[in-house]
Structure 1
């Protein structure tokens, strides 16, 4: 049981080189010479040390962090972290797993190079649940990553370490990636902006290219829409997918009137809790007040979608277990955690369904595209309920009970991963009774990041997002 002392708010904001800057503001201060990049890195490292004993968000530290080569880019000198499922040369990549001893990466992953092109200074690696399978960053035999708004609650997953550090003010932005909600879930839990780009918008990672259905997109978590918009523009200057419309730099709301379809409950029948419903209905009212057209919508998703996605998740666990020695010569799948082992065992019992599962999942894009007819965006909850207490989604919970809890929590985000559409989690102005953030989700057609950023800027300007330092 969580003690009273653990149920506290933690933040690192102070009067130093970072101040209350987000990434764009800090980079501008560095360019003007008001702050040095080395000073920003030093003060960020001190902030991390100040909160790490309470949040447990860091997996590894870089020995001598320095601005990326060239020191140019939109985020030149901005301190940050890379998630520990992505290679950063000189640091081990552990994937949150105790099943092997991680080896030091010999080269940067392709997305790491794209991220570094923005000029960031990498301070280290952030923690994630084993192989990113869980929506909460918890472990069988290690401290969980805790939510800075209330340390008795989950910071979300799988990019939980990144979200905890950004929400606490230790760094302005951090790398995140998303294969079923892993950018958007921790953003919702921690009161952040989390955009999952369109499939193919950023450089694909090596694992994605090997999957029968690529569901993973890389990005960041941030405290402002401006930082997320600047990240997409910076990523595009390094590499742009010619098959997608360019995003460019979006700097504020366009004033365009949008048609938005909204839902309160998941198409798979999961109902949302009161705080989550209030966040969505409040957002609907705000959009209407600002002149947008908002109407209910009910996407006709195949009722087998949830089971099919779970089977695909099990296939991923099976493939990791079968080819685990690529992670390290001492890999032992018996040391994988309870969730990973449960997914693996469930898939082994049901592997013959794989061709049908893949066919149905690929067909989801037809029904999802139909839901957008007449609408520019879809609005929904990010999650069916707010951030759970630590332990609710622990891998020590028996697998049948754990997976049931996960399915009643992660009821909205996976569709965008399967279809490849972009979506963004935004902090709602409402909160739970004990002050926890609540997120709302906007999803768009492939390539519609500009529209997502447009509505995000609109809502942020109307009611600025709550800040943990004011809690």
Structure 2
């Protein structure tokens, strides 16, 4: 097992983003020093991890000399390479067209950077975010810093790997089927998928028929995630849901928590089930009530979600030449993307019914969270696989079967639009992080953050540098 990280005695130290803000405000370090440290750390681990899609250190240095305002002013970060940032290409995890610079920031980047964060570049994802493991046949895999023989997950793989390795304390991710929570689980991070509509998003995501994608961040602490959501709320305030506000400590209310390890169709393996039950006992020791409960999903959920997911691939491939011009090469797409598009084309007549049933899941979730404050499941059904397990050059059917064996719990929250967070509360027998997922009702991120604070205090998670 080869572990890679860049922690050291420099301006970043081992601080999270909030700790770095405090150090900057105290004048103990300068913004240029912090940015230089992040650049040096990125260069130290980039070759081993394969996490960087596009670097622009010159821009970061210019911004460090003349930083924008905002709570996070001076804190270095990365954005995922499926959102537009002015002057940088957006490749969405593929090499199917020639890179060209975005003309302006997308809505997400404008909101994200208004908090003061300084971007060093963009991070890699699996092709269009379809796979939970980033293993591009030509660009190479993104590797976990905890064990470089294993995947860093996906689709926000690059962001998670760089945060876990200590290159930056916080990075952007987004989540259409688990793509913040999956790499958070693998890399020992906090990964919260907010409620649908909580944060600003680029138009291409907002225009999806069912808005399954939510933007957020990968962090090493609950307080960093809470602080980011607080600051984002100052920039983009969705009036249709309750504010999150400034959360800095555990909640006092004891919660009724639903435990499930059987998933939508396929459940967790024996080891992960035992780890989840151990967390349930911790919750009971803290005074919460834990009750076993079935997931609020119909028997058709798996096939309906797969068909809708596949329809997004079909739309991307059908419109590729129109969107990207003559440089677009369909043959550069991997077997998963092509297989999903073919699946959607064969079953397109079933799509309207599938979408109706998926939308109905939102109502079922609302009823579920009238009975329970929080739901507990493992984030992933078995420990982190090696690079190659989800190699996208495999036969499509084989990839999908392996995918469902592993990603059994996360997609439900994308369909319902309700918030969910992965917390690094467990360690598998191989010594690698194993995340636990907590979900709540519409607009109730505050419940998850307060519970996160409590669990972080009760069971501090392992650090890669230890």
Same fold (TM over 0.5): yes
Q: Aligned match of 1:318 in 309, 314, 327?
A: 314
Q: Is 1:353 matched up with 2:347?
A: no
1:278 deviates by 2.5
Deviations 1:60-87 (A, max 9, x none): 1113212597632221100000100011
Gaps of 5+ in 2: none
Q: Is 1:431 matched up with 2:427?
A: yes
Task: Give the TM-score normalised by the residue count of structure 2.
Answer: 0.97
Task: Classify 1:303/1:69 alpha carbon distance in 2 versus 1 (closer, same or farther; 3 Å).
Answer: farther
- Residues 264 and 302 of structure 2 are in contact (CA less than 8 Å); yes or no, is this contact kept in structure 1? no
What residue in structure 2 maps to residue 18 of structure 1? Answer: 12
1:328 deviates by 4.4
Q: Kindly report structure 1 stretches of 4+ aligned residues shifted beyond 4 Å.
A: 67-70
Q: Secondary structure at the match of 1:219?
A: strand
RMSD of the alignment, in Å?
A: 1.3
Task: Give the TM-score normalised by the residue count of structure 1.
Answer: 0.96
CA distance in 2: counterparts of 1:34 and 1:300, whole angstroms: 51
Q: Is 1:279 matched up with 2:275?
A: yes
CA distance in 2: counterparts of 1:434 and 1:70, whole angstroms: 43
1:286 deviates by 0.7
Q: How does 1:319-334 map to 2 (within 5 A)?
A: 319-324=315-320, 325-334=322-331
Task: Classify 1:57/1:344 alpha carbon distance in 2 versus 1 (closer, same or farther; 3 Å).
Answer: same
Task: Classify 1:310/1:40 alpha carbon distance in 2 versus 1 (closer, same or farther; 3 Å).
Answer: same
What residue in structure 2 maps to residue 461 of structure 1? Answer: 457
Q: Aligned match of 2:22 in 28, 34, 52?
A: 28
CA distance in 2: counterparts of 1:438 and 1:423, whole angstroms: 16
Task: Classify 1:434/1:68 alpha carbon distance in 2 versus 1 (closer, same or farther; 3 Å).
Answer: farther
Greater shift, 116-125 or 96-105, is seen at: 96-105
1:396 deviates by 1.1
Q: How does 1:206-225 map to 2 (within 5 A)?
A: 206-225=203-222
1:434 deviates by 1.9
Q: Is 1:43 matched up with 2:2?
A: no
Q: Secondary structure at the match of 2:218?
A: strand
Q: Secondary structure at the match of 2:465?
A: helix
What residue in structure 2 maps to residue 3 of structure 1? Answer: none
1:331 deviates by 1.5
Deviations 1:360-415 (A, max 9, x none): 11011122223223210111011111211100011011111001101111111111
Aligned length: 462
What residue in structure 2 maps to residue 74 of structure 1? Answer: 71
Q: How does 1:292-303 map to 2 (within 5 A)?
A: 292-303=288-299
What residue in structure 2 maps to residue 304 of structure 1? Answer: 300
Q: Secondary structure at the match of 1:10?
A: coil
Gaps of 5+ in 1: 1-6
CA distance in 2: counterparts of 1:73 and 1:300, whole angstroms: 40
CA distance in 2: counterparts of 1:354 and 1:254, whole angstroms: 42
Q: Aligned match of 1:374 in 360, 371, 376?
A: 371
CA distance in 2: counterparts of 1:331 and 1:210, whole angstroms: 23
- Residues 275 and 432 of structure 1 are in contact (CA less than 8 Å); yes or no, is this contact kept in structure 2? yes
Deviations 1:207-239 (A, max 9, x none): 122211111111100000000000000000001
What residue in structure 2 maps to residue 64 of structure 1? Answer: 59
Task: Classify 1:196/1:328 alpha carbon distance in 2 versus 1 (closer, same or farther; 3 Å).
Answer: farther
Q: Is 1:54 matched up with 2:51?
A: no
Deviations 1:320-351 (A, max 9, x none): 01111314442222321111000011111111
Q: Secondary structure at the match of 2:140?
A: coil
What residue in structure 2 maps to residue 152 of structure 1? Answer: 149
1:439 deviates by 0.4
CA distance in 2: counterparts of 1:361 and 1:292, whole angstroms: 31
CA distance in 1: counterparts of 2:376 and 2:450, whole angstroms: 14
CA distance in 2: counterparts of 1:408 and 1:67, whole angstroms: 45
CA distance in 2: counterparts of 1:216 and 1:295, whole angstroms: 29
